Amino acid sequence: MIRTALRTCLFALALALWATAAPAASFKATVEKPPADQGDTFELVLSVIGRDSLEPPNISPLNRDFEILDRGKRSRMESVNGRMVEVNEWVLTLAPKRAGHLVIPALTLGSETSAPIEMDVAPGSTAEPPDDGPIALSVDVLGTPPFYLQSEIPVVVRMYDRVGALEASADQPAAEGATFTPDGTLKRFSRIYGRQRYRVVELRYIMRPQRTGTIQISSVALRASIPVSPPGAQEQARAMGRPAMPWLGGGFDAGRKVTVFANPVEVTILPRPAGVTGWFLPARAVGLKETWSSPPAKAKVGVALTRTLRLEVQGASPAQLPPLKPAETDGVRQYADEEHPEAAQVGGAPGAIAEVHISVVPTRAGSITLPAITVPWWNITTNRAETAQLPPVTLQVAGAADPAGITPPPAPAKDAPKPQATPADDAGPLPLRDIAAIALVVVMIGGFLLFSGRRAGRNARAMAEPPPGPVAARPARPGRPAPARPAVRRPRLAVPDEKTAAGAVEAACKAGHATAAYRAYLEWNRASGPGHAGTASARTPAMAAALHEISRHLYAGDGDTWDGHGFRSAFAAERKAALKPAKARTARGLAPLYPKAR
């Protein structure tokens, strides 16, 4: 009764601890690098935190505006509220079916629903193979012109394969007057063009022009080895889980070596417009926002306020965003942390955001005005200069007019006793997690004491009761105490009888049960000698062949019937071979330790 109550209490306490510490499972959808135009692909990540789901999300609503090219699942660990939790993600590679305003609808996973995501897809040419060859290569410049100096222009290299290339490698794009750096990992997916299915491999790069004018991206070479077998042979081999077999079409070579080239691409880079000075930010839209941790009208001397500035730019890259630095102002001290611009969706289109947190500490009382913050930028849609601005902010600071901002406390007297902290001074509500932890420790200590007391009582009763009968003990050696009798005897494993196991093998063979015959043979092999204990080894070639045949029948999924008669015959020969060495050893006996000289 007590043990049952203790177990129930421990289980309830552990459940309460898990409920307070574990984060609530949430299902959400995010877009990684939104598409630059209609011909671009992107990844939609559906994640659930704190648990896993055997049933995948319902993604059928995506088929209305997007083509699902590939899907996969991955898991990772993430720190949430100071605890490491599991995050399971479904990664979908999508391609827009049309340009314009598109919406990724709300998707469901069980009883949870993700929030919809809106995006604006710019018109662009749909990616297609440049020719009808077995393997092709293309280089496409994404994004919408115009492009300016120091802009980050996305470039994608695509390989189209419809024959199952054995190996392939492409050169990195190059151009005089521009640099290229890889952007992310390569993507692989299948897509149907016309009536032919292609395997598409995408490699993305960031092009940074170093001069104005027309820059030509040179032709990129792709070197590949394609199979010489019929078109469907390699696909059939991969579907069966086997490696590529180029010899299906004749010959044992590694395939036919081919080299294809992509057409060169020209990009026009515009110079900085006349009259534009300072930081040049070409974009389609710019937004500047601010938030405060507490109202500026209720500021106090020496008490820090946190000011958060957020810059949202549509049509620009993170490297193009200007730094957000507050102007020096008399009467306050400002400390800004480091900015980390990142690519994100801005207004449903590709862009970048930057956020900075500024600690504002007033150093005097009164009215203090922080100047306006301006970000000049160039509107590439209207081709004119514009400015994003935050109005001035006035702080109404209360407190003593002390130059240091904080009135120093009076110095304590030398003979005055030091104030002693009382429990009431630091008393405060404990967190629920701490209360649960303390309760768990108390319950564990109580359970340990209860269990120890009951065990001590059982031992005392066992020592008080006389033994049920005489127990033979081994005589102790002189000067040594008698050995203690073990309280628990471990059971010995029963060794099967050789004749019984052999009869089981023959019975299973007569009944035609391959599984029973194989298990009975293992038992017999264990009883026949220590050298073959519990293994599927054989002493004769016939038995080895019979074991190979029964293994193929059991594990290879062979639909043929099993030959029980052949296995029984091979087992009879195996049994005779196993008994001969034992008889020979029994007849000879042991050799003398000291042989006599003849």
DSSP class per residue in 247-289: GGGSS-SS-EEEEEEPPPEEEEEEPPPTT--SS--EESEEEEE
Question: DSSP label at 518?
Answer: H
DSSP state of 11: H
Which of 20-34, 290-304, 423-437, 566-580 is least confident?
Answer: 423-437
Give residue 478's pLDDT band: very low, low, confident or very high (50, 70, 90): low
Residue, of 372 and 125, whose pLDDT is higher = 372
Higher pLDDT, 411 or 268: 268
What does the pLDDT read at residue 421?
Answer: 40
Residue 286 pLDDT level (bands cut at 50, 70, 90): very high
Does residue 287 register a pLDDT over 80?
yes
Q: Is the pLDDT of residue 332 over 60?
A: yes
At 456, is the pLDDT very low, low, confident or very high (cuts 50, 70, 90)?
Answer: low
In this prediction, residues 88-103 reach a mean pLDDT of 90
At 401 the pLDDT is 45
Confidence class for position 491, pLDDT limits 50, 70, 90: very low
Q: Which two structure tokens, joined as six digits, stand for 505? A: 């093998």
pLDDT value for 229? 60
Residue 266 has a pLDDT of 94
* 288-302, 436-450, 479-493: range with lowest mean pLDDT: 479-493
Lowest-confidence pick of 38-47, 121-130, 304-313? 121-130
Per-residue pLDDT averaged across 292-318, rounded? 91
Q: Alpha carbon of 224 to those of 123, 186, 253, 474: distances in Å? A: 33, 17, 14, 82
Higher pLDDT, 442 or 186: 186
- Lowest-confidence pick of 103-117, 217-231, 281-295: 217-231
- 588, pLDDT greater than 90: no
Average pLDDT in the 503-511 region? Answer: 87
pLDDT band at 486 (very low <50, low <70, confident <90, very high): very low
Give residue-wise pLDDT tens across range 198-227: 899 999 999 999 999 999 999 999 999 888
User: Which range, of 148-162, 428-442, 459-473, averages the lowest pLDDT?
Assistant: 459-473
Contacts 24+ apart (CB under 8 A), 51-54: 51/25, 51/86, 51/88, 52/86, 52/88, 53/88, 53/109, 53/110
Q: Would you list the domain boundaries of the chain? A: 22-121, 135-270, 282-398, 498-579
Q: How far apart are CA 130 and CA 262, in angstroms?
A: 8
Average pLDDT of 63-72?
91
The pLDDT of residue 597 is 53
Q: What is the pLDDT of residue 249?
A: 47
| 358: pLDDT strictly greater than 70 | yes
Tokens of 551: 């293994």
Tell me which of 61-65, 297-301, 473-477 is least confident.
Answer: 473-477
Question: What average pLDDT does range 135-139 have in this prediction?
Answer: 92
pLDDT the model gives residue 594: 57
How far is Cα 152 from Cα 145, in angstroms, rounded to an integer?
12
CA–CA separation, 394 and 172 (whole Å): 54
What is the average pLDDT score of the chain?
78
Q: What are phi and psi of 239, to 5 degrees?
A: -65, -30
**pLDDT, position 313:** 93
Whether 489 has a pLDDT exceeding 70, the answer reads no
Q: For residue 281, is pLDDT > 60?
A: yes
Is 174's pLDDT higher than 90? yes
CATH fold of 135-270, please? Immunoglobulin-like (2.60.40)
Higher-confidence residue: 492 or 383? Answer: 383
Query: How many other C-beta atoms can be found within 10 angstroms of the C-beta atom of residue 206?
Result: 17
Mean pLDDT of the region 230-257: 57
**What pLDDT is attached to residue 151?**
83
Phi, psi of 567 (to 5 degrees): -65, -35
- Choose among 121, 104, 122: nearest CA to 113: 104
Closest CA to 152 of 278, 18, 306, 341: 341
List the end-to-end C-alpha distance of the chain, in Å, as a whole number. Answer: 81
Q: Which of 310-314, 323-327, 348-352 has the highest mean pLDDT?
A: 310-314
More confident residue, 556 or 88: 88
> For residue 81, what pLDDT is reported?
77
Mean pLDDT of the region 402-431:
44
Domains 135-270 and 282-398 belong to one CATH topology:
yes
* pLDDT at res. 201: 92
Task: Using the predicted structure, report yes or no on whether residue 51 has a pLDDT greater than 90.
Answer: no
Over range 478-496, report the average pLDDT: 51
Look at residue 212 in the predicted model and tell me its pLDDT.
Answer: 92
Structure token pair of residue 552 = 């193929």
Residue 585's pLDDT band (cuts 50, 70, 90):
very low
Contact yes or no for 85/49 (Cβ under 8 A): yes
Where does 282-398 sit in CATH, by number? 2.60.40
Is 93 or 126 the better-scoring residue by pLDDT? 93
